[in-house]
Amino acid sequence: MAKRPVRRASGSDQLGFSSLDPIELSYEKLVQRHWPPNDRFPLNMGKRTVHSQIWQELVSAESPLLIAGFASLDRLVQFASQWSKRRADGPIRILIGNEPFLNSTFNFKGPKASLSQQMIRYWVEERRISMLGSYLILLMIDLIREDRIQVRTSATYRMLHAKIYLADDAATIGSSNFTKSGLEGQIEANARFDRWNEPTRYAELSEVAENLWAESVDFSGEVVRLLESLLKVINWEEALAIACADLLEGSWAKYLLANFNSTDNLSGAAALWPSQIAGIAEALWVIDHTGSVLVADATGSGKTRMGAYLTKIVRDQLWSSGRANSTRGSQIVLVAPPKITKVWAAEALKCGLQLEVVSHGKLSRSSEASPGLETLRVRSAQILAVDEAHNFLNQGTKRTDEIRDSPAEHVLLFTATPISRGATDILSLVGLLGADNFEDETLQILERLAASSVERMDVQTRAVLRNEIQRFTVRRTKAQFNALVDREPEKYPTRVGGRTCRYPVHNLMSYVSKETESDIAIAHEVVQLASGLLGIAFLEERVISPPDWSKQTQASWLERRLSASKGLAAYDILSTLRSSRAALVEHVLGTRSAEAMFGIAHKKIQANAGMTEKLSRAIITGPPQVTCQSAIPEWLASRDQWDMACRVEIAIYNQIANLANRISDSRELGKVRVLIDLKERHDRIIAFDKRPITLHYLAGKLAENNEEYLLATGQGGEKAKEKMEVSFAMESRVKAIALCSDALNEGLNLQGASAVVHLDIPTTLRVAEQRVGRVDRIDSPYDEIDVYWPSDGEAFLTKDDRRIAIRAIENDHLLGSNIPVPFAKEQDLQLSASDLDLSEVFESEEIDLADAFDPVRRLVGGEDPLVGSATYGQISKSSSGARTIISVVESDSDWAFLSIEGAKSAIPRWMFIELSDGGFVYHTLGEVSEMIRQKLSGLDPAKAGEKLDERASEVLDSAIRHAQRQEFKLLPRRLQKAYLQMLRIIDHWSEQAASSYSFESADAWKRIALALRGPVGIVDGTETPDFAELARLWIRLVQPRIDGFVSRKRKKYVVLSDIEESLRTEPLSLDEIELALEGIELCAPLASRVKVAIVGVRSVDYYDPKHR
């Protein structure tokens, strides 16, 4: 049976997986041929190597002469270390030559300068030197400065390609460069001349080498400068500042923006702000670590421009890595409200991004039987961007299902207000961001919470969920943006007025409602009547049955279902009462009755039925069927009792309507007076109320006072919104009042206004932030804006007041609030600890989001930073001066913090290795930051520094080896799961083939599995396969199975484990797998990608300053 070897493909940077490999078979035949002795012709053939023949004789030489190309630098460093231990007088003589793989460029300063440029480009920009044995670099520098090593290069423009190694007793010449591959791996041909057996040839080759050396020029200074640019030892505070700045400032990403981040670029795009560059860098970091990103920056911070450039870069990276799938109909798809798509289109044009646009509404109207073009675009997207993504958090809607089930490789969500309903919203975000990117424990928690309306989140559960979502989140508050502006104000110009862009000061104001004593008394009556409502009109389903996934008893579920209807009925009465009398009557009797009763001339286009009409219909249709096996209230079980209960409910509503008609118009007139008075100080004012009929009523009152106003309730379509944007644009000179419903609280830039008035209390902090966000924007032309909140009497208050205040407090505690709200202080509300943990007034829990880089920001800022502001300010604006930065500190244990470049990008990754704990590796930013804080708190950077000696280098080497074995865990979790599934399934297919006596196939599967597993254990300087690309290939291979599962699933989201059984029983084709895996690229080892290392070295006499 033919052997099926796994081979390295032609070219040194790929792995091959083909079954029959004539190239490898030819090599085996080559090895088996007769070859002359290795001491005469050193070769890399089978078990014999050039290294085994010449290395030790050069180390033993008194003054060896090595002529080799500059790619040998890392091996020369190791050689110098071993030679120096002999204490020989020396010196080592090294003649650096050229490399044929780099195009040489003419340099007017001479051949030495030309070679220096090539060498720097190779070792600094392309190759990287391993940090294993890092102190050897410093040792090499010392040996050169002590003149124990002399380095020269050719004095002519003719390239030096000779490879000669002259020792005391032998001289070797040939093709082998002094590199790992030249000495051990590649097929080379060399001749060696022994001084005693072939004295003439030895003398002649020595003469050649000495002549080349004699006519060369000194190159020591250039090599020292190169080595110093590769490694620099500094104190821990500066090293940590460099690592933090690399993440927070996004300097590693600036080269990605170089083509279009200038004011004179061909597209006419304005230069990106530093905050946008940093945001793009952070988002790219998040995408690299999780596959998807949630950009939740404050409203008005320039997310759309940042989003367009971010999407462009993600697309470019797909193309440059060869992962772009040209077979898909739509590679990049944007889903957004119609108004926002125009802004996206403009920004996309400026940065050269081509995308397909899908509107929210059209996606909602699609069906499985007849999917529209928009749906097909979403289903074929490789990159899916979703703006105003909070509109996709409602489970079960068509548009949410389409986004959740999209096979896109990257999902980019944009919203300033992502969460307001706690676990429900978290579960929706999990589906949108990719369930496989979450821990199984997290998915179990969310499933449990979603399945139960009884179970509440404890503090630990809230922390778990918050930390999980934090990994995906880019979220910076308005205060943080202003701090960024203050650092470089000249880089944030506005379009008008010559101001520096920054969020205006947010003045929290209030106005007193003008209800009379009589109004208060009537309001109390209304509240009392509302408490007697059963909420029958909210039992609209024809069958009331607990869902299959509910873990409550049926009796408990029914009790809570009926209680919810009762509570909602009462809440709607109180909420509409607070808005206006017209809103209350509309809710009770319907739109047309309210318009007639209050003489509203500006009629609503769409009329709503009132509660009384809905109850009349309920009498006709009868009670719903209740399937619960529990006691059912008599009014729900009996048709007669149902009819009677409906009539009683109608009577209560009619009483409420009559009372509403007796309330005076003082409250409404008071709000009108507030708006008119504000025109004395503000040219343009925006007032919000969620009830359009209230706005129509107030519009009539403003007209009676001859006041100019704009009415914007969403009914006028795009033309009405455009008129609003023109009238309230930054450059506008129009003086007006805008009466807006919450249909206009997102997607519009109205920063020409300087005041916002809440005519009612927003139901959530999200709505409040969206409203104020129309005006409170980073490019506002105003230094200050005023935001007015109603201060209503007790009879008109709802739970909204307490809810939004507590939410603001929680936001401020966990992240920092974007807007102040009235009474948002614990003492004002007399809150208890249980209120802040989980207030009983909320229908569901809320979890506030933190930024993915928040743990890093707290290392350099906030209340207890490790890095001083002066140090960080200086470091963040300057270059580190070296490819790798190392700091050594004395500690109570051996440990290392590493900041590492990605295998295929400059994206930094953090790891912390605690060697005293068996080499335990921490790899999330939160964990790593906490370990850094534990180890470095209290250490004076000026006194805590240690030398990078052999002991410290051994600790670093050990940490790097542990880190490389665990680097796989830095992949996005979905890719980790895909890679592990690939190994499991291929193992299963191998066993399955063997059990059916298909031994050739079984052997092929085993070889593939061995090749996929083997590189995990490789550490020292060996290139490894790109695990991320292996995982992506697997996902692409099994995507048809995922699509098939999605089409028949009954789950809220699909994970890779859902298709495991299908893969086990129906294997993929062996040929298909081999073809897909052929040519996987190799990556540089982790040891050569270390950017910053802080090394803790255990000392017996260590004194912990924290325990003084």
How many separate helices (H) and strands (E) can be counted in the chain? Answer: 42, 31
> pLDDT band at residue 529, thresholds of 50, 70 and 90?
very high
> pLDDT class for 1108, splitting at 50, 70, 90?
very low
Please compute the mean of the pLDDT values over residues 754-780 and round it to a whole number: 87
Q: Which of 443-447, 619-623, 645-649 has the lowest mean pLDDT?
A: 443-447
**pLDDT score for 822:** 59
**Out of 267-271, 712-716, 896-900, least confident range:** 267-271
| Cis peptide leading into residue 1067 (ω within 30°) | no
Task: Kindly state the average pLDDT of the residues 312-337.
Answer: 76
- pLDDT of 59: 94
Give the tokens for residue 412: 């980019």
| Cα(1022)–Cα(1084) distance, integer angstroms | 7
pLDDT for the residue numbered 967: 84
Q: Is the pLDDT of residue 844 over 50?
A: no
Q: Give the 3-state secondary structure of residue 947.
A: coil
Cα–Cα dist 1006/829, whole Å = 66
Distances (CA, A) of 67 to 123, 166, 178, 238, 1018: 18, 9, 9, 39, 30
Stretch among 69-83, 154-168, 245-259, 743-757 having the lowest mean pLDDT: 245-259
Residue 1103 has pLDDT above 60, yes or no: no
pLDDT digits (tens, 9 = 90+) for 66-101: 999 999 999 999 999 999 987 777 899 999 998 886
Q: How far is residue 983's CA from residue 1088's CA, in Å, rounded to a whole number?
A: 27
Average confidence (pLDDT) over 987-1001: 89
For the segment 453-472, what is each residue's pLDDT rounded down to a tens digit? Answer: 444 556 677 677 777 888 88
In which band, very low, low, confident or very high, does the pLDDT at 115 lie, cut at 50, 70 and 90?
Answer: confident
Predicted pLDDT of residue 398: 76
Q: Name all domains of the chain by residue range, CATH numbers in brackets.
A: 35-232 (3.30.870.10), 270-475 (3.40.50.10810), 505-513+665-838 (3.40.50.300), 517-662 (no CATH), 881-1108 (no CATH)
Indicate the range of 581-590, 743-752, 1045-1054, 1073-1082 predicted with least confidence. 1045-1054
CA 673 to CA 705: how far, in whole Å?
A: 10
Q: With a cut of 80, say whether residue 444 has pLDDT above it.
A: no
The C-alpha atoms of residue 794 and residue 74 are separated, in whole angstroms, by 77
Query: Is 887's pLDDT higher than 90?
Result: yes
Q: What is the pLDDT of residue 1049?
A: 58
Residues 6+ apart with CB under 8 A from 776: 299, 300, 478, 503, 504, 506, 756, 785, 787, 819
Question: pLDDT-derived band of residue 1015, with 50, 70 and 90 as boundaries?
Answer: very low
Q: Where does the pLDDT of residue 809 fall: very low under 50, low under 70, confident under 90, or very high at 90 and above?
A: very low
Which residue, among 59, 54, 103, 97, has the nearest Cα to 78 in the 3D structure? 59
Q: What is the pLDDT of residues 1047-1062, one digit of tens each?
A: 665 566 678 888 899 9
CA 135 – CA 954 distance, rounded (Å): 9
> What residues form DSSP beta bridges with 312?
none
The beta strands (E) that lie in 135-187 are given as 149-154, 164-166, 170-174
Cα–Cα dist 361/157, whole Å: 68
CB atoms inside a 10 Å sphere around CB 110: 13
- Between 600 and 914, where is the model more confident? 914
764 has pLDDT over 80: no
Are the C-beta atoms of residues 405 and 373 closer than 8 Å to each other? no
Query: How does residue 204 score in pLDDT terms, banded at 50, 70 and 90?
Result: very high
CB neighbour list of residue 55: distance below 8 Å, 6 or more residues apart: 79, 183
Q: pLDDT for 144-203, tens place per residue?
A: 999 999 999 998 878 899 999 999 999 999 999 999 999 998 999 999 999 999 999 999
Residue 1022, class by beta-carbon neighbours within 10 Å (0-12 exposed, 13-18 middle, 19+ buried)?
middle
| pLDDT tens per residue, range 327-381 | 554 588 898 888 788 888 888 888 888 888 888 777 766 665 556 777 788 888 8
In tens, the pLDDT along 965-986 reads 888 888 888 888 999 999 999 9
Better pLDDT: 286 or 745: 286
pLDDT for the residue 125: 75
Position 800 scores a pLDDT of 54
652: which 2 tokens? 């209560």
- Mean pLDDT for all residues in the chain: 82
Residues 214-242 pLDDT 10s: 999 999 999 999 998 888 899 999 999 99
- Distance, in Å, from the CA atom of 308 to the CA atom of 938, rounded to the nearest integer, reads 44
Give how far Cα 45 sits from Cα of 5, 180, 327, 1021, Å.
Answer: 18, 14, 44, 21
Cβ contact 589:609 at 8 Å: no
CA distance 869 to 866: 9
Contact 500, 492 (CB under 8 A): yes
Amino acid at 516: T
The pLDDT, as a whole number, for residue 645 is 93
**Angle of helix 423-433 versus helix 459-470 axis, rounded to 10:** 30
Tell me the mean pLDDT in the region 1103-1108.
Answer: 51
Q: What local confidence, expressed as pLDDT, does residue 497 receive?
A: 61
Q: Which residues contact 85 (CB under 8 A, 6 or more apart)?
A: none
Mean pLDDT along residues 58-62? 94
